[in-house]
Structure 1
C-alpha cells in the first residue's frame, strides 16, 4: 500500500504574520491606494470646516455665532465623523486587495499550499487595522492643527484608539467578503462605498434632531451613529452614555462576526 503524503496544516500565528507583512509591503508598493485612504478624510475635513463650518457650527452649538466661532464649534462636532471616514476608507482598500488576490489566482494558489486558511484573510485584515490607525492619527493630527482641543485624558485616548481599531477590524472583515464576492476589482472598489453614506445619514455632520421623521429614525438606529456619538464623548472628555456605548460595541461585534462568516464561506467556495 502506497502511503499518501499529507501536507502540514501550517502555523496559524506565523502564517498570519507573514500575510500581515505581505499586506503592509503591498501598501508601501502601492502608495496611491494608501494616500487615497488618508487623503479623502483630510479633504473632507478641510472642505466642511472652512466652507460649511462657519454656518453649520452655529447650528450645532447653541449660542455660537457664524464665522470663526462657528468653524471652531463645527470642527469639534465633525471630527468623529471624519475619523470614521478614515476607518471606512481603510476597510475599502482591503476589499480591493482581496479582489485582486481572488481574480489573479494567487488565492487559489494559497489554497494548495501548507498555509493556515485563516491567515490568508486574517493577515490582510490586521494590516488594514494598522493602516486605519495611521489614517486616524493623521486625521486627529490635522484636527488639532486646525484648532481642536480635546479634553480626553490618557484613558480617553486609549479608548478612542481601541474603538477605532475594533471598528476597522469589523468593517475590514465585511469588506473582505465584499471583495471576494465581487467579479472584478472595479466592482470591489465600488461596493464598499455604500458604507461612506452612513455617516451622512447619521449624527456625523448634523444632529439627528434636525432631520425629518423617517430619516431621523434611520439615523438613530443605524450602526455608525452610536460609534460617532461614543467617539465624540471620548474626545470631549464627557461621561459615556452606557446605552450608546453598548449599541456601538454590539453593532461592531455583529458586523465583524457577519463579515468573518461571509468571507470564510466565500474563501472555501471554489471561484467559478
Structure 2
C-alpha cells in the first residue's frame, strides 16, 4: 500500500498492520526525500501528497493527529508533466506546487564528458561491493563507452559496467566485455563467443571448487548467464551457504538471490550439488 509506505500507518489501520509504522516522509524529517517517477503516482494519492506539501504535515493511515514535518522534497520524472496535466493524468495544482525550482536533465548521450567519470565511479562501487581486486578500463573500453548512445541512460551504463566486471580477464576491461547490443558510432562491440566462453568467473570467491558446467547452463542460452550463475555459486560457497550475506556481497536483495537460484534449478542445475561440491 503506497499511501502507508509514504505517510505511515497506525496499528490495526488495515489488515496486516500489526504495529504502527512511520512512513518515508516521517523518516526523512529534517532532511530531503526523493520521489522518483512522480508522474506514475495515482491521482488519489496525488491529492494527499498535495496536502502534505501545502500544510507541511503528514497524517498516518488510521491516525487522527497530523505530524508536523520539516522536509525538502525532490521529485523526478521522465515524462512531460505539463503534457500529463493536459491529458488529465496529473493534478495541475500539484504540478505548480512541485515546480518551485524545475531542472531539465539531459540524456547521457548529450553529456559525453560525464560518461567516463560516471563509469569509473560505478566501477569502483561494484568492485567494492563484490570485494574484487582493482580493475581498470582499457583505452578501447573508454572509447566504446563514449561512443555508445546509451538509450537506457545511467541505469544502462551501470548494468554494462557490472557486466564487464564479471566478464573481464586480467584486471582490464575490454570493449567487448560490455556486451552492448545497440549501435556504436565508431567501435563494433559484439562479444566474441570464444572469449566469453573462456572466462572463469572468480570475481567474488577465492574458493572456486567445482564450476558450473557449460552443459548444465547451456539451456540458459548465453555465456553471460552462465558466468552470473557461477558467481552466485562461488559467493554462496565463500559465505558457507548464508544467503543473506551472499546477497549483500553480490549487491542484490535476498529476494533476488532466491529468484536467481530458482532460475538455476529451472534450467536443470543441481544447485546444492554445486554448492557443497569439494
TM-score, L = length of structure 1: 0.21
Task: Name the one with the larger strand percent.
Answer: 2
Structure whose alpha-carbon radius of gyration is higher = 2
TM-score, L = length of structure 2: 0.21
Bigger relative contact order, structure 1 or 2, given CA contacts below 8 A and separation 6+? 1
